[in-house]
Amino acid sequence: MASNRFKVDAKIAGLLGENYRSSEHALRELVDNSWDADAKNVWISLPPFLTPITDDFKIIFMDDGTGMTPEEVRSEYMTIARNRRERKGENTSNGRLVKGRKGIGKFAGLFVGSTMRLETVARGKKTILTIEKEELSRAKRDIEDIDLPIEEVNCDEEDGTTITIYNINQNLLYPNSERLKLILIMEYGRQDHFNIYVNNERLDVTDVKGQSFEYRDILSDLGPVNLRFVISDTSHKLRQPGISIRVGGKAVGKPIFFDVDKNNPDIPGKLLKRLYGEVEANDLLNYVTADWGAVIENSRAFVALHTFVSDKIEQAIRHEFKNEISLAKARIQKQIHIELQKLPEYKREYAKKALDKVINNFYTLPENKLRSLISVLLDTIEKDEYWEVIKALDEAQHADVSSFADALNLFGLVEMAMMSKQTASRISFLLMLQKLVNDPKTEEKEIHKAIENNLWILGPEYSIMASNVTLKTVIKRITGKNQYNGQYAQNRPDLLLTQNVLGHYLLIEFKRPSHTLSRNDIAQAADYRQEITPFLTGSAIDIIVLGGKSNINSLYSHGDGIKVLTFNDVISNAHTLLNWLLSQLNQNPSPLTRV
């Protein structure tokens, strides 16, 4: 039987160099290589963003690692996809866990620029290699057949590697030094004996974006301490959040929260996980365990440090918590005010307390989810059985401790049960509405009747809209014209005009589910708005046109205040939001049961 071999096209090298989300992530891959080379220092030089692009426009990457001999460049660096872990084990000579796995990180520089020059020094020999991405792309032969000249020179330089990247990719945003620092601090910010410099600035705790704090003091039972930390405002998940203890520049154990999490259950865990920092206390040296895994906890020195750090962290976290809660409330205050006005006055005070509790625990949610949660909660408070439990809870505050505890427990159980029940009821409604939409016989009036009192399906912001006699009269003036009577009755539009307590109007035109929306429908809805406007001059009128399908190009401008939605879009979006809410209620009962 004839046999053959795979051939590796020369273009594969270029493709491997494109396997990154951004230029910053590609540069991080080069840092990984330096880590694996046991480098103690890495220097990255990025020209200023506004520097004119010239022939010498370049990015320089340098480390003081072990470097490579000419033979290592040929046998290891020039071998694609060679797994270092399989050849040399899981750890470097200095005990670091090897990061390189796939043997393709060497091409990371070709993502940032089209020319990459490698200069590496080891054992008195400098090896120089230049790789041109364009040359690889043009090649029509196996990559093994491409000649890449390697230059060797004797030298007395220190071991290490320098990579220079030229011809920066103009199709990508220029590498951002601040973004690069953030990526690197997440990966390497806790490492001992590994310093990274970006444009001559050493990577530091404060490179985590957010509000930073620094406190210096001399503690009576310990000595000088320097506490620095940041409460991150980035969407990136922090690696090893908390405060790292450093003694003589070396980290002791893992980062900790100094019991702020245990002693303050009202502080959300999500907020604490945004805490990132370190405390330097060199006089703790005599109290560090032999394995450097911890500090002797009952030593006077550590107790002093613990008190100092925990107080500072708690103050900062509470201040940040208060600010973020205030911002969250400000974003949705209008909806809260409108929703509360719908409740009887005697229920509003209790509703405010329940809302505060929800906001305090879920303020980090996207605004649409928080609005949905508030809408369901206030719908729940309207239910009589829930209201009876709230009154019992209020009365129990003036009874003995045991009765009050029982009332609290009952309140939590009923609150969860009622909110879950309300959410499940809305999901059931959506299932029935979907059946109505799927029925080809369904007309506009059936859809109108189903949705009129359930405007929450359009989104949390629409749950506060409602119609009234005056608005219905206005619609009758439009739809009752002669042109829609007799044999033309089938052309009569099905319109719903709603208003919230702030005077904002919304006009909804229902089309039958079998109808495919077109630009003519948009123009027609705009005409209806034009006819209605003389009767309602207090505020602008937004429009939603609802239909079964749409053949309107997404790039087409619908006009000011006009939305085009299909029933399936609306039902699907509402379903997703409610399923998420139900999962939160079922999986995380504790936040909502705290009073």
Mean pLDDT lowest for which of 332-346, 407-421, 488-502? 407-421
What separation in angstroms does the CA of 152 have from each of 125, 163, 235, 426, 435? Answer: 7, 16, 46, 73, 76
* Distance from C-alpha of 28 to C-alpha of 24, rounded to nearest angstrom: 6
Mean pLDDT of 271-291: 90
CATH assignment of 205-312, given 3.10.20, 3.30.230, 3.30.1120, 3.30.450? 3.30.230
Question: Is pLDDT of 10 > 70?
Answer: no
Q: What is the mean pLDDT of residues 14-23?
A: 63
Two tokens at 108?
A: 């990371």
| pLDDT over 80 at 71, yes or no | yes
pLDDT digits (tens, 9 = 90+) for 79-124: 775 666 666 678 888 888 888 665 667 778 888 888 999 999 999 9
In the structure encoding, which two tokens stand for residue 33, read together?
A: 């290589």
Most confident listed range (258-262, 479-483, 539-543): 258-262
* CA distance to 236, 504, 519, 531, 561, per residue, from 534 (Å): 51, 15, 24, 7, 17
Match 């879009």 to its residue by tokens. Answer: 569
* Pair 455, 463: CB distance under 8 Å: yes
Place of tokens 């945004």: 274
Q: Is 419 exposed, middle or buried (0-12, 13-18, 19+ CB in 10 A)?
A: buried
Average pLDDT of the residues in 474-495: 65
**pLDDT of 56 over the 80 cut:** no
d(CA 3, CA 547): 61
According to the per-residue pLDDT averaged within each range, which of 304-313, 378-387, 472-481 is highest?
A: 304-313
pLDDT of residue 594: 37
Instruction: Summarize pLDDT for 548-569 with one digit per residue, the tens.
Output: 988 876 555 566 788 899 999 9
Report which residue type is found at 118: L
| Percent of residues in the chain assigned helix, strand, coil, to nearest 5 | 45, 20, 30
- If one counts every other C-beta atom within 10 angstroms of the C-beta of residue 234, the result is 14
pLDDT at 345: 80
Confidence at residue 1, expressed as pLDDT on a 0 to 100 scale: 43
Q: What's the CA gap between 506 and 475, in Å, rounded?
A: 12
Domain spans in the chain, listed from the N-terminal domain onward? 11-198, 205-312, 324-431+584-593, 444-567
Q: Give pLDDT tens digits for 115-161.
A: 999 999 999 999 999 988 877 766 555 566 677 888 999 999 999 99
Give the burial class of 184: count Cβ atoms within 10 A of its Cβ; 0-12 exposed, 13-18 middle, 19 or more buried.
buried
- Dihedral of CA 404/405/406/407: which sign? positive
pLDDT confidence of 585, banded at 50, 70, 90? low
For 169, the enclosing helix (H) or strand (E) is none
Q: How many CB atoms lie within 10 A of CB 360?
A: 18
Six-digit token string for 5: 């071999």
Average pLDDT, the chain: 79
Q: Just give the CATH number of 11-198.
A: 3.30.565.10
The pLDDT > 70 percentage for the chain reads 78
Is residue 404's pLDDT more than 50?
no
SS3 for 279-313 is EECHHHHHHECCCCCCECCCCHHHHHHHHHHHHHH
pLDDT of residue 104: 67
Highest mean pLDDT among 185-189, 314-318, 585-589: 314-318
Distance CA 161, CA 120 (A): 4
Helix (H), strand (E) at residue 120: strand 113-122
